[in-house]
Amino acid sequence: MEETRAATQLLTLKEAARRLNVHPATLRRWADNGDVLVMVTPGGHRRFPVAEIDRLSGDRSVSDNSEDVGSNLVAAALKNARAEIAEHPDYAWAADMNETERIQMRSMGRHVMSLLERFVSEDEDDAPLIRAAESMGREYGTNTKGKGMNLSSVLQAMTFFRDRILEAAVSLPAAARMDQDASKRLIRRVNTFLSTMLVSVAESFEH
């Protein structure tokens, strides 16, 4: 009876990918290649039998991406940023901040990285996270504008961290054994999230 229920219970793409601890794009490729049993709803959505996913979870030779992409991306990006700041402590945008402002910016930065981690992991709907990115961009822009920073300095700071995140996104796929499609999707999602924030920051200076 239990086996019958497991065979008929279906998972969404994100649920199945999370259960296998792989990137959704990787599982999508397996399904498209016929390596994984998948059903397609009338609306075109993939559904995966639990029994099939459980079978795959015990087959280590199938998985090519067992890493937690979101958390590893954030960890690598923070490491890159800290190393760069330690080597170049005279960045103008950093030198202009006092200790209280640095603490506030670090707190906001942690929140942003948490949102980015959730966005690239594809475990949730995109729309609420994009709205959160817009909100964080406006908040960051409003706060820095109120402290007397000009838009040029703020964008320099933003692009500094964007570049460190993109560096991590480019190097991560090899370490996480991500396929080419998953790698492209990761970089595209990072760009989408960070570009949303940058635009919101710039817009906050116009009001």
Parse the chain into domains and list their residue ranges.
2-57, 69-204
The residue with greater pLDDT, 17 or 92, is 17
Q: What is the mean pLDDT of residues 137-150?
A: 88
Q: What is the mean pLDDT of the segment spanning 149-164?
A: 89
Task: Supply the pLDDT for residue 202.
Answer: 94
pLDDT of residue 59: 57
Q: What is the pLDDT of residue 67?
A: 45
Distances (CA, A) of 4 to 49, 50, 51, 184: 11, 10, 9, 38
Per-residue pLDDT averaged across 154-176, rounded? 85
**Tens of pLDDT along 113-132?**
889 988 887 767 889 999 99
For residues 72 and 70, give the distance between their C-alpha atoms in angstroms, rounded to a whole number: 6
> Taking a C-beta distance cutoff of 8 angstroms, is the pair 72, 172 a contact?
yes
What's residue 4's pLDDT?
A: 44
Q: In what order do the strands lie in the sheet with 39-40?
A: 10-11, 46-49, 39-40
35: three-class secondary structure by DSSP: coil
Q: What is the per-residue pLDDT for 60?
A: 43
Query: Please, are residues 184 and 124 in contact by the beta-carbon 8 Å criterion?
Result: no
**Long-range CB contacts (< 8 A, 24+ apart) of 200-203?**
200/133, 200/134, 200/135, 200/136, 200/137, 200/138, 200/141, 201/137, 201/138, 201/140, 201/141, 201/154, 201/155, 201/158, 202/141, 202/151, 202/155, 203/137, 203/138, 203/141
* pLDDT category of residue 197 using cuts at 50, 70 and 90: very high
DSSP strand E in the chain: where? 10-11, 39-40, 46-49
Look at 35 and 122; give whichever has higher pLDDT.
Answer: 35
For residues 190 and 94, which has the higher predicted lDDT (pLDDT)?
190
Q: Is the pLDDT of residue 8 over 50?
A: yes
Q: Domain 69-204 classified CATH 1.10.3470? A: no
Residue 104: pLDDT over 80:
no
d(CA 87, CA 164): 14
**b/e sequence 81-101, b meaning 16+ C-beta within 10 Å:** beebeeeeeeeebbeebeeee
Q: What is the dihedral of CA 76, 126, 17, 108, to 10 degrees?
A: 30
Tokens 């067992």 map to which residue? 66
Q: Is the four-CA dihedral 80, 83, 88, 91 of positive or negative sign?
A: positive
Q: Is the pLDDT of residue 201 over 90?
A: yes
CB count within 10 Å of CB 166 equals 17
Q: Distance (Å, rounded) from C-alpha 190 to C-alpha 184?
A: 10
- 2-57 to CATH, choices 3.30.930.10, 1.10.1660.10, 1.10.340.30, 3.30.70.120: 1.10.1660.10
